[in-house]
Amino acid sequence: MHVTFEEAQQAVEAAIKKAEEVGTQMCIAVVDSGANLKAFARMNDAWVGSIDIAIKKAKTACFFGMPTGQIGKLSQPAGPLFGIEHSNEGLITFPGGLPIVNTEGILIGAIGVSGSSVENDHLVAKAGVEIVGLSDLPEHPWRT
Amino acid sequence: MHVTFEEAQQAVEAAIKKAEEVGTQMCIAVVDSGANLKAFARMNDAWVGSIDIAIKKAKTACFFGMPTGQIGKLSQPAGPLFGIEHSNEGLITFPGGLPIVNTEGILIGAIGVSGSSVENDHLVAKAGVEIVGLSDLPEHPWRT
Amino acid sequence: MHVTFEEAQQAVEAAIKKAEEVGTQMCIAVVDSGANLKAFARMNDAWVGSIDIAIKKAKTACFFGMPTGQIGKLSQPAGPLFGIEHSNEGLITFPGGLPIVNTEGILIGAIGVSGSSVENDHLVAKAGVEIVGLSDLPEHPWRT
Amino acid sequence: MHVTFEEAQQAVEAAIKKAEEVGTQMCIAVVDSGANLKAFARMNDAWVGSIDIAIKKAKTACFFGMPTGQIGKLSQPAGPLFGIEHSNEGLITFPGGLPIVNTEGILIGAIGVSGSSVENDHLVAKAGVEIVGLSDLPEHPWRT
């Protein structure tokens, strides 16, 4: 099951609104449950380098069904997932990527935000998710 | 000089409207004059394989300041540019990509559309460009 | 808005002059505001491995509108941007890359230098920037 | 044996001079005999898509010690080298790339030019080579 285009658009719009409130310039990407790009927006003056980071955050959150920052805690030197960023043509494992989960607990996509501090990136991603669903996944089953 | 986010959004919206009129499901990408992604939308039921094609069409049109289909005429077997698609991490040289030129004749970005016949792709790309500018470049100078 | 070829050449020449003063052999790359290569020079006896590093430093500085070394401080293990180097087909986040900003405060490109200690790389990059502009960006807006 | 930086610069300058005479905007790349970039210049208004093509033409001419257009004759459909462009991370096999050979018949590098018709690209590449050497290689030995 996949996020619809209308939901993806709403998520991007809500994220942009939050970014404007916070006074930041963001790149925002939404992928479906296949980790394939659904919608993308780069605000004026957002870093060009954030395009790829936003998309990779969305993919990373979808790939593993969890917030990107949670993976980053495990991928530190001496951590169990050290170097996981080398997989999947490049992961981004710091905060700013969140799964999008519908009310039935099904993973329908993910959002990735880049352009400011990781705290702001996370905040804006959260605003994008909340307009269309949740970001917490049940144990199983969560993908259909 | 780069297309603004507002212009990119308008181009995507106009392209979606035209795609709906034509009864097709499209992926639509807008890049700035540096060929970096500015906005992207995948309509419901559009081919997943069209994501990359739409983005590559937009980049190709920006890279050479001309419609993608024009390059494709020159890149056929025995043509002068045979094999040009191997450059720039992959070009798409059939119709559906158009430069975006402002009223001063400056290349400010490009649009790429994929999801239907190349005729429809071109039609939808054209609708996207026309809302924000032209797609014909003067001889020179055209990039600043 | 993009750095001109004349400015890019001047930046490379000033960087080479400084490299000779310091007694080092450098690779020097200049990109425009789209992070696309504008000029490149490899001095005799400069490391072949520095070609890609110089280009990636220039791109990294352009991508984020800041000196590469500033990003490197945030991308250390346990830092907020740990692993950011995996984005954008490879970033270089140690010193030697600087934005090029014009007198109106607009990011017009960036320079990247590699071939000696990071202190020397930075020094040579700085000499390249100063001949054509500044390397400090105002808060916003800074990209057009 | 490798082209020196001074020779590479001279080749680029001679190529630019010729490009200006012809009234075109070119990207010009010079690689050494290891196919590693030595000098690069993008003239104002040259296609951004020509950056990679110029570099790939120079590499292709160096990789095989022959003009790129000669390989292109063999890589057509049904030709003996059909599809060779897929090797070496992408070759460009239409005219515009030429070996640089010194007076002793040693391959010291190559030049690649892109930005206009393949005839003009070839003409400008030839002007670049001739200032520093020849582009014809003896049978063997030609690489040291």
- Note the pLDDT of residue D1: 84
CATH code that applies to domain C5-130:
3.30.450.150
pLDDT tens, C130-144?
Answer: 999 988 888 777 776
- Note the pLDDT of residue C144: 64
State yes or no: pLDDT of D29 exceeds 90. yes
Q: Which of B33, B38, B45, B108 should we substitute to test contact with A (largest number of A Cβ atoms within 10 Å)? A: B38
Of A70, A144, A72, A40, the residue nearest A101 (C-alpha): A144
- Note the pLDDT of residue A87: 97
State yes or no: pLDDT of C48 exceeds 70. yes
State yes or no: pLDDT of A25 exceeds 90. yes
pLDDT tens, A99-132?
Answer: 999 999 999 999 999 999 999 999 999 999 999 9
- Note the pLDDT of residue B144: 64
Tokens, residue D7? 């020779």
pLDDT tens, D84-130?
Answer: 999 999 999 999 999 999 999 999 999 999 999 999 999 999 999 99
CA-to-CA distance for A144 and A141, rounded, in angstroms? 8
CA-to-CA distance for A124 and A139, rounded, in angstroms? 26
Average pLDDT, chain D: 96
> Is residue B37 within 8 angstroms of chain C, CB to CB?
no
Closest C-chain CA to A90: C86
Residues of A within 8 A of C77 (CB-CB) are 76-77
Residue A32 pLDDT grade (very low, low, confident, very high; cuts 50, 70, 90): very high
CA-to-CA distance for B3 and A41, rounded, in angstroms? 13
Give the number of other Cβ atoms within 10 Å of residue C90's Cβ: 14
Identity of the residue in B65, B77, B87 whose CB atom sits nearest the CB atom of D90:
B87
pLDDT tens, B92-111?
Answer: 999 999 999 999 899 999 99
- Note the pLDDT of residue B135: 86
Identity of the residue in D36, D37, D43 whose CB atom sits nearest the CB atom of C5:
D43
Read off the amino acid at residue D141: P
> Is residue C137 within 8 angstroms of chain A, CB to CB?
no
Give the number of other Cβ atoms within 10 Å of residue D35's Cβ: 16
Q: Do chains A and D touch (3 or more CB pairs under 8 A)?
A: no
- Note the pLDDT of residue B110: 97
> Is residue B25 within 8 angstroms of chain A, CB to CB?
no
> Is residue C10 within 8 angstroms of chain D, CB to CB?
no
> Is residue C1 within 8 angstroms of chain B, CB to CB?
yes
Residue D139 pLDDT grade (very low, low, confident, very high; cuts 50, 70, 90): confident
- Note the pLDDT of residue D143: 74
**Nearest CA distance, C130 vs chain D (angstrom):** 20
CB contact under 8 A, C32 and B34: yes
Q: Is the dihedral of CA A5, A7, A9, A12 positive or negative?
A: negative
Residues above pLDDT 90, as percent of chain D: 91
Q: Do chains B and A touch (3 or more CB pairs under 8 A)?
A: yes
Report which of residues C137 and C19 the model is more confident about. Answer: C19
Residue C24 pLDDT grade (very low, low, confident, very high; cuts 50, 70, 90): very high
Average pLDDT, chain C: 95
CA-to-CA distance for A126 and A114, rounded, in angstroms? 12
Phi, psi at residue C32, to the nearest 5°? -85, -170
**Nearest CA distance, A142 vs chain B (angstrom):** 22
pLDDT tens, A44-102?
Answer: 999 999 999 999 999 999 999 999 999 999 999 999 999 999 999 999 999 999 999 99
Residues above pLDDT 90, as percent of chain B: 90
| Alpha helix positions (H), B30-144 | 50-64, 68-74, 118-130
**Nearest CA distance, B54 vs chain A (angstrom):** 11
Tokens, residue D48? 């951004």
Read off the amino acid at residue A110: A
Burial-class residue D120 by CB neighbours within 10 Å (0-12, 13-18, 19+). buried
Residues of A within 8 A of C87 (CB-CB) are 49, 52-53, 56, 90, 92
Residue B1 pLDDT grade (very low, low, confident, very high; cuts 50, 70, 90): confident
Q: So where are chain D's domains?
A: 5-130
ipTM of the complex: 0.95
pLDDT tens, C62-85?
Answer: 999 999 999 999 999 999 999 999
